[in-house]
């Protein structure tokens, strides 16, 4: 798993707009998921990272926002979905019975005064960040991004780049 800074201008529009406080979302990190043939799904670090960031936001009195890509497995209010994405505020004031286990994020929340049960598999989680300062993680599961992370980089001539002169010392 590689982690790197993710510039704001490269974010999907729904993520960039999610920070409705007017503050800039500049410091998201991109976490590139590796090919499932290399890493087993049960070994995913995503649930641990989401729990850690959610806990950090709570301790620092920040508002954790969760960006979800809606698919067949997600149970969310469809009338609030735009471009197959929805953004949730996970703060204690807006959610009830929040459970984040290794496979699902589940909670109940009110939408237009009606309580609804929300269930989100981790495969649908696109990002989690603090509303106030924009610090967070953006998860990429796009196959093209995964291939770029796993396959060796090639130069414009089509040949592999030079291997490093460094050796592994055991």
Give the class (CATH, top level) of 2-150: mainly beta
In the prediction, which pLDDT does 161 show? 60
Q: What is the pLDDT of residue 167?
A: 77
- Evaluate whether 111 touches 38 at the Cβ level (below 8 Å): no
And the tokens for 32? 């590139």
Helix H segments across the chain?
13-18, 46-59, 143-150
Q: pLDDT value at position 106?
A: 96
DSSP string, 39-62: S-GGG-SHHHHHHHHHHHHHHTT-
Q: Which residues pair with 67 in a beta bridge?
A: 87, 127
User: Rounded to whole angstroms, how far apart are CA atoms 13 and 57?
Assistant: 23
Is residue 67 within 8 A of residue 85, CB to CB? The reply is yes
pLDDT per residue, tens digit, the chain (170 aa), is 444 444 444 444 444 333 344 444 444 444 444 333 344 444 588 999 999 999 999 999 999 999 999 989 999 999 999 999 999 999 999 999 999 999 999 999 999 999 999 999 998 999 999 999 999 999 875 544 545 554 445 444 555 566 777 777 87
Q: Yes or no: say if 118 and 108 are a contact pair by the CB < 8 Å rule.
A: yes
The confidence score (pLDDT) of residue 135 equals 92
Q: What is the pLDDT of residue 169?
A: 82
Cβ proximity of 25 and 8 under 8 Å: yes
For the chain, the structural domain boundaries read 2-150
């Amino acid at each position: 798993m590689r982690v790197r800074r993710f510039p704001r201008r490269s974010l999907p529009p729904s993520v960039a707009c999610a920070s409705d406080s007017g503050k800039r979302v500049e410091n998201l990190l991109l976490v590139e998921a590796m090919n499932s043939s290399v890493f087993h799904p049960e070994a995913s670090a995503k649930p641990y990272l989401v729990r850690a960031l959610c806990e950090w936001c709570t301790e620092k009195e920040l508002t954790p926002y969760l960006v979800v890509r809606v698919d067949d497995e997600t149970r969310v209010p469809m009338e609030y979905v735009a471009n197959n994405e929805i953004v949730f505020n996970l703060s204690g004031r807006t959610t009830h019975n929040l459970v984040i286990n290794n496979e699902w994020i589940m909670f109940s929340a009110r939408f237009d005064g009606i309580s609804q049960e929300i269930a989100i598999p981790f495969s649908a989680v696109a990002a989690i960040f603090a509303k106030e300062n924009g610090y967070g993680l953006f998860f990429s599961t796009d196959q093209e991004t995964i291939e770029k992370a796993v396959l060796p980089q090639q130069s414009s001539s089509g040949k592999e780049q030079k291997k490093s002169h460094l050796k592994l010392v055991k």
